[in-house]
Amino acid sequence: MEKETKKEQKYIAIVSALENGKLQIRFPDFEGLMGTAETEEIVETSAALLLDVKIQELKSLEIELPEATSVIEIAKELKPGEFTCFVHVKKDYLAQGKVLGKILQSKLEKSGELKSDQMRILGFVGGALLLLSLFLPVFDTGIVNFNIGYFSKLFGGGEILDFIPKENFFMLRMVGFLILFEAIFVIYSYWKEKILYMFISSILAIPLFILHLLMRVIVPGKFGDLGRQMGMSYANFTIFLAAVVLAVAAYVLFTKHKEEILS
């Protein structure tokens, strides 16, 4: 019986006319959830899509759906000129909602109101730049054709590296593997559009950047005389910094834009 109740769950949308001729839709059970419909004919469709987007967002954050307010309670809050409509939450509707979503999304994109794809691209670029930074030297040594990267000596590296203990490269490798994980996580988050994962990846980017800076201070001291002539690779640092900024900015812009869609 419980599963059946959830399948047939429904919420009430309150509709009111705006001065510009459009109709405003709001859901009392979801704080801040509001939208508009161009005409009365598409009120139910617009309300259903609005609710579907919100439900998908709550599911991605693993937040339970609120209990629906009764018709009697809603009626007490109605103002003159407002009317209501029921919006059902069903599995078969969710599939339909995705189709409706694609149709309305294309219209919104043409009018410049929806740019979530552009936000996702920022996340992809940020992850790609993190991957690129792994293949660039981290330190310039001043010796021709000899620079030190994240995975130096792990996969070979020449006669000069043979005289340097493997332990000296530990922090470099640790940061390298963390950057690799962060890059894959960022790309996966925006590929799947998981808001929770986007949030985690953007938060992880900040301490990773701090660790990256510490590495540039600590590592040269482990290389003795060679460390005194080791300088920072500005190409690597610039690309890494750009990747971190893009990863954080993509999340901020993506969530901000989602809020604008639902407002």
Q: Which residues make up the CATH 3.30.160.250 domain(s) of the chain? A: 2-110
Q: Please state the φ and ψ torsions of residue 232, each to the nearest 5 degrees.
A: -70, 140
- Please name the residue that has the structure tokens 């018709």: 71
Task: Specify the long-range contacts of residues 106-110, CB closer than 8 Å, at least 24 apart.
Answer: 108/261
Q: Which tops the pLDDT comparison, 258 or 254? A: 254
- Cα separation, 141 vs 108, in Å, equals 53
Instruction: Give the residue range(s) of CATH 1.20.140 domains in the chain.
Output: 118-261
Tokens representing 263 are 């407002």
Tens digit of each residue's pLDDT (9 = 90 or more) over 126-176: 899 988 888 887 777 666 556 677 776 544 444 455 556 666 677 778 888
* Distance from chain centroid for Cα 104: 22
* Residue 181 pLDDT class (50, 70, 90 cuts): very high
pLDDT tens digits, 233-256: 778 888 888 888 888 888 887 777
Average pLDDT score over the chain: 75
Q: Two tokens at 222? A: 């482990």
Tell me whether strands 23-26 and 34-37 are parallel, antiparallel or unpaired. antiparallel
Ramachandran assignment for 7, one of left (phi > 0), alpha (psi -120 to 50 degrees), beta (any other): alpha
Residue 92 corresponds to which tokens in the numbers above? 């078969």
**The pLDDT value given to residue 225:** 61
Q: pLDDT digits over 223-235, tens only? A: 666 656 666 777 8
Tell me the CATH class for 118-261.
Answer: mainly alpha
CATH 1.10.760.10 fits 2-110, yes or no: no
Q: What share of the chain is helix, strand, coil (3-state, %, to 5)?
A: 65, 15, 25
Single pTM value for the model: 0.50
